[in-house]
């Protein structure tokens, strides 16, 4: 167990150090922290509930059609919107396809976004703050007495 915890801390330190460069500057600290916009306002959870969506430019433009319109970044966002192109955000968190994972099931079970994504409300530039490897997930499942059998997250072969 001590070795697994050491791996978790090493993975967290490496991940936090390299927040990817995004096509547009975005501060969760401003939006989710200072402005107190809830995660669900921008990140949708369409059926069947496995993934949280990365917001399209249209979502951002609901506010930014009149807020900070003089900003170069907002002008770039507006161009994506008018050209009907997705903003090419670089994913920070991604669960492999071979893992059965449902955001909705985790939220329904009482987990918070912060449990897996860290203190996003304090991040100007998002990096992976929590370990979402198999080890990290198993440690969390053990701590919360959640199912941890192989077929809980993986299809039987």
**Residue 44 belongs to what domain range?**
2-54+89-153
Considering the domain boundaries, does residue 35 fall inside one? Answer: yes
Global pTM value:
0.79
Considering the domain boundaries, does residue 10 fall inside one? Answer: yes
Considering the domain boundaries, does residue 71 fall inside one? Answer: no
Considering the domain boundaries, does residue 115 fall inside one? Answer: yes
pLDDT digit string (tens) for 1-48? 444 444 444 444 444 457 999 999 999 999 999 999 999 999 998 888
Considering the domain boundaries, does residue 64 fall inside one? Answer: no
pLDDT digit string (tens) for 125-152? 999 989 999 999 999 999 999 999 999 8
Task: Report the distance separating Cα 90 and Cα 55, nearest Å.
Answer: 12
Domain count, the chain: 1
Considering the domain boundaries, does residue 60 fall inside one? Answer: no
Q: Report in angstroms the alpha-carbon separations of 70 from 31, 64, 75.
A: 18, 10, 7
* DSSP-derived secondary structure for 101-113: --HHHHHHTT--H
Considering the domain boundaries, does residue 8 fall inside one? Answer: yes
């Amino acid at each position: 167990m001590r070795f697994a915890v050491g791996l978790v801390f090493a993975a967290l330190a490496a991940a936090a150090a390299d927040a990817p460069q995004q096509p547009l500057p975005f501060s969760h600290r401003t939006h989710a922290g200072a402005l107190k916009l809830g995660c669900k306002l921008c990140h949708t959870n369409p059926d069947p509930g496995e993934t949280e969506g990365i917001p399209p430019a249209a979502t951002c433009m609901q506010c930014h059609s009149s807020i900070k319109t003089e900003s170069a970044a907002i002008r770039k966002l507006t161009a994506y919107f008018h050209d009907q192109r997705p903003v090419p955000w670089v994913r920070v968190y991604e669960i492999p396809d071979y893992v059965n994972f449902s955001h909705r099931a985790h939220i329904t079970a009482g987990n918070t976004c912060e449990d897996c994504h860290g203190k996003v409300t304090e991040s100007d530039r998002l990096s992976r703050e929590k370990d979402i490897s198999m080890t990290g997930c198993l440690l969390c499942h053990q701590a919360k007495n959640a199912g941890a059998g192989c077929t809980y997250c993986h299809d039987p072969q």
